[in-house]
């Protein structure tokens, strides 16, 4: 491995920072009372304020125009298809320089799994690509990923939403829950059981449909507020006699589960990059504070307990960063997906972020739990990340199963 950051990647990061400084930060400063006052940011029903949605759309479209919004998307969908190393380092740099910003993550660069020109859309019929992709590429339209249900989270085979074919249409009924961006999305990639026998045997039987969210029978019943906030990004969807044309199937009939996995590994790697960058920012705040704050006649950085917390945080970050870089390198340079390593990276990086923020808040004492320093926002974000894109426990299961099958490769 060559750990030197490629010149092209450095240019992308520098260009992205210039874009954020010039186009995004001024918008945030002009609308600070709207964006950083929860009572203004959310409506009473938990949805983001329409003005917030307009600002997010403005940033998405500006990012798309500048070439950043689609740079990690597939070339066949109109993206640049930059590799996982660049994606990891870019996400790290943005999280390190612009922590806990409302109009940056994941607005400037969308999740490669659930929004933007996600790889799932490769399975769209060409005529639907021609009709829908332009708005998605431009950031004008957004998506949600309708897979999770009340009884189907980590075990996606537990989904109960069913689609029955009637003439040339599929009639879909069911419920979806914890669907990110559902309250705001224009389109949904909706998963349903189309072959109960295959589904029962866990050998297929799930199909992915492309659905306009304003269709009759598709309703977002409520928003799910998350810890410490008055609203949220995720919603509960009810599907009642929703009629979808045959041509709106994404990919092959009964093979939607494979579509569900497209892009998820890049999403996990991008999430890990955000964790690494955010942890570096938090550690820097702790170091600055430790060199300034005095107790018992000396700076707290001179106390061994504080030194230990700083050192342990640095060790954690170093281990996470090199683990993630090695995994990204393996994805780019080997034909077989390093499933075990991806699970290691996702679980370790998200847990590492929580450990670092916990220590950093402790070092800051009372001011650390205030809203003033943005540390509490990062701590809440860290706690949330251990659940989506596979819980830490599910990833440990994946790692263990790979080991038990004989995958002892750590190169």
Please report whether residue 172 resides in a domain.
Answer: yes
399 and 277 in a common domain: yes
- Which of helix, strand or coil describes residue 206? strand
Residue range(s) defining the domain that contains residue 392: 263-404
pLDDT tops 80 at residue 264: no
Q: The tokens of 76 are what? A: 């066949």
Question: pTM for this structure?
Answer: 0.94
Same-domain status, 275 and 399:
yes
Integer CA distances (angstroms), 267 to 154, 261, 335, 345, 357, in order: 16, 10, 19, 12, 22
* Residue 199 in this model has a pLDDT that exceeds 90: yes
- Asked whether 112 and 267 are in contact (CB, 8 A), the reply is yes
Burial of 394 (0-12, 13-18, 19+ CB in 10 A): middle
C-beta separation of 300 from 294 below 8 A:
yes
Instruction: Tell me: do 272 and 234 sit in the same domain.
Output: no
Q: What is the pLDDT of residue 411?
A: 87
Residues 171/236, Cβ–Cβ less than 8 Å: no
pLDDT in tens, 345-362: 999 999 999 999 999 999
Angle at the Cα of 371 (from 317 to 303), degrees rounded to 5? Answer: 50
pLDDT, position 371:
87
Q: Alpha-carbon distance 180 to 110, whole Å? A: 12
Residue where a domain stops, chosen among 70, 97, 112: 112
Examine the domain organization and report whether 156 and 94 are in the same domain: no
Check residue 1 and give its pLDDT.
80
Q: Does residue 224 register a pLDDT over 70?
A: yes
Q: Do residue 229 and residue 245 come from a single domain?
A: yes
Task: Report the CATH number that the domain containing residue 300 is assigned in CATH.
Answer: 1.20.140.10
Q: What is the CATH number of the domain that holds 198?
A: 2.40.110.10
Q: Residue 372: what pLDDT? A: 85
DSSP per position, 90-159: HHHHHHHHSTT-TTTTTTTS--TTTSSS-GGGGGS-HHHHHHHHHHHHTTSS-EEEE--BTTBSS-GGG-
How far apart (Å, rounded) are the C-alpha atoms in residues 35 and 347?
30
Overall size of the chain counted in residues: 411
Same domain, 306 and 393: yes
Same-domain status, 272 and 376: yes
Of 224, 256, 288, which residue constitutes the final position of a domain?
256
In a domain, 136, yes or no: no
In a domain, 320, yes or no: yes
- Please state, in angstroms and rounded to a whole number, the distance separating the CA atoms of residues 300 and 107: 38
Question: CA 166 to CA 220: how far, in whole Å?
Answer: 25
Domain assignment of residue 125, yes or no? no
CA distance 346 to 355: 14
Tokens describing residue 353:
């972020």
Distance CA 118, CA 17 (A): 23
pLDDT exceeds 90 at position 154: no
Residue 235: inside a domain: yes
> How does DSSP assign 20-56, residue by residue?
IIIIIHHHHHHTHHHHS-HHHHB-TTSPBPHHHHHHH
CATH number, domain of 21, equals 1.10.540
Q: Print burial letters for 219-255: b (CB count within 10 Å at least 16), e (below 16).
A: ebebbbebeeeebbbbbbbbbeebebeeebbbbebbb
In this prediction, residue 114 carries a pLDDT of: 78
Based on the fold, state whether residues 400 and 327 are members of the same structural domain.
yes
Asked whether residue 301 is domain-assigned, the answer is: yes
How many structural domains does the chain have? 3
Same domain for 332 and 393, yes or no, is yes
The pLDDT confidence band at residue 260, using thresholds 50, 70 and 90, is: low
Q: What percent of the chain has pLDDT over 70?
A: 98
Q: 150-154, 192-196, 325-329: lowest mean pLDDT where? A: 150-154
The pLDDT value recorded for residue 263 is 63
- CA distance linking residue 120 with residue 117, whole number of Å: 8
Tell me whether residue 66 is in a domain: yes
Q: Please, are residues 109 and 91 in contact by the beta-carbon 8 Å criterion?
A: yes
- Choosing from 213, 233, 256, the residue where a domain stops is 256
Determine the average pLDDT of the residues in 219-247.
96
Q: What is the pLDDT of residues 267-289, one digit of tens each?
A: 788 899 999 999 999 999 999 99
Enter the DSSP assignment of 245. E
SS (H, E, C) 169-190: EEEEEEEEEEEECCCCCCEEEE
Smallest CA-to-CA distance from 353 within 377, 378, 331, 326 is with: 378
Query: Is the pLDDT assigned to residue 79 strictly greater than 80?
Result: yes
Confidence class of residue 258 from pLDDT cuts 50, 70 and 90?
A: confident
- Give the pLDDT band of residue 259 (cuts 50, 70, 90): low
Q: Quick one: pLDDT at residue 268?
A: 86
pLDDT score of 336: 85
pLDDT tens digits, one per residue of 295-343: 999 999 999 999 999 999 999 999 999 999 999 999 989 888 899 999 9
| Confidence category of residue 211, pLDDT binned at 50, 70, 90 | very high
- The mean pLDDT of 261-266, rounded to a whole number, is 67
71-76 average pLDDT score: 92
- Does the residue 156 lie in any domain? yes
Query: Do 81 and 108 share a structural domain?
Result: yes
Secondary-structure breakdown of the chain: helix, strand, coil percentages, each rounded to the nearest 5: 55, 15, 30
Q: What is the pLDDT of residues 16-43, one digit of tens each?
A: 999 999 999 999 999 999 999 999 999 9
Answer yes or no: do 297 and 387 share one domain.
yes
Tokens of 298: 């000396």
How many angstroms separate the CA atoms of 216 and 310, rounded? Answer: 55
Together in a domain, 248 and 280: no
pLDDT tens column, 363-382: 999 999 998 899 999 999 99
Rounded Cα distance, 355 and 347, in Å: 12
């Amino acid at each position: 491995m060559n750990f030197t950051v490629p010149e092209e990647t450095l240019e992308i990061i520098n260009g992205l920072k210039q874009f954020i400084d010039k186009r995004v930060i001024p918008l945030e400063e002009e609308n600070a009372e709207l964006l950083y006052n929860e009572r203004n940011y959310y409506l009473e029903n938990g949805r983001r304020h329409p003005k917030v949605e307009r600002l997010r759309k403005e940033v998405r479209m500006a990012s798309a125009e500048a070439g950043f919004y689609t740079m990690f998307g597939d070339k066949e969908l109109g993206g640049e298809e930059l590799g996982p190393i660049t994606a990891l380092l870019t996400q790290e740099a943005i999280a390190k320089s612009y922590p806990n910003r409302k109009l940056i993550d994941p607005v400037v660069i969308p999740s490669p799994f659930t929004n933007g020109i996600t790889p799932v859309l490769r399975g769209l019929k060409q005529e639907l690509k021609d009709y829908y992709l332009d708005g998605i590429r431009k950031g004008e339209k957004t998506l949600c990923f309708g897979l999770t249900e009340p009884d189907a989270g980590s075990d996606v085979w537990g989904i109960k939403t069913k689609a029955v074919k009637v003439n040339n249409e599929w009639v879909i009924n069911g419920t979806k829950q914890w669907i990110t961006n559902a309250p705001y999305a224009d389109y949904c990639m909706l998963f349903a059981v189309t072959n109960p026998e295959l589904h029962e045997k866990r050998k297929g039987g799930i199909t992915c449909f492309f659905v306009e969210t304003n269709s009759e029978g598709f309703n977002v019943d409520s928003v799910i507020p998350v810890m410490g906030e008055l609203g949220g990004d995720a919603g509960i969807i009810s599907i009642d006699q929703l009629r979808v044309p045959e041509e709106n199937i994404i990919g092959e009939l009964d093979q939607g589960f494979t579509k569900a996995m497209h892009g998820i590994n890049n999403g996990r790697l991008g999430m890990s990059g955000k964790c690494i960058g955010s942890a570096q920012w938090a550690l820097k705040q702790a170091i600055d504070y430790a060199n300034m704050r005095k107790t018992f006649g000396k700076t707290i950085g001179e106390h061994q307990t504080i030194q230990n917390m700083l050192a342990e945080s640095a060790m954690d970050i170093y281990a996470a960063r090199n683990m993630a870089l090695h995994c990204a390198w393996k994805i780019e340079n080997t034909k077989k997906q390093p499933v075990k390593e991806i699970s290691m990276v996702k679980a370790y990086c998200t847990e590492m972020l929580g450990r670092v923020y916990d220590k950093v808040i402790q070092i800051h004492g009372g001011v650390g739990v205030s809203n003033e320093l943005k540390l509490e926002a990062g701590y809440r974000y860290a706690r949330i990340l251990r659940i989506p894109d596979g819980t830490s426990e599910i990833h440990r299961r994946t790692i263990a199963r790979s080991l038990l099958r004989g995958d002892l490769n750590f190169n």
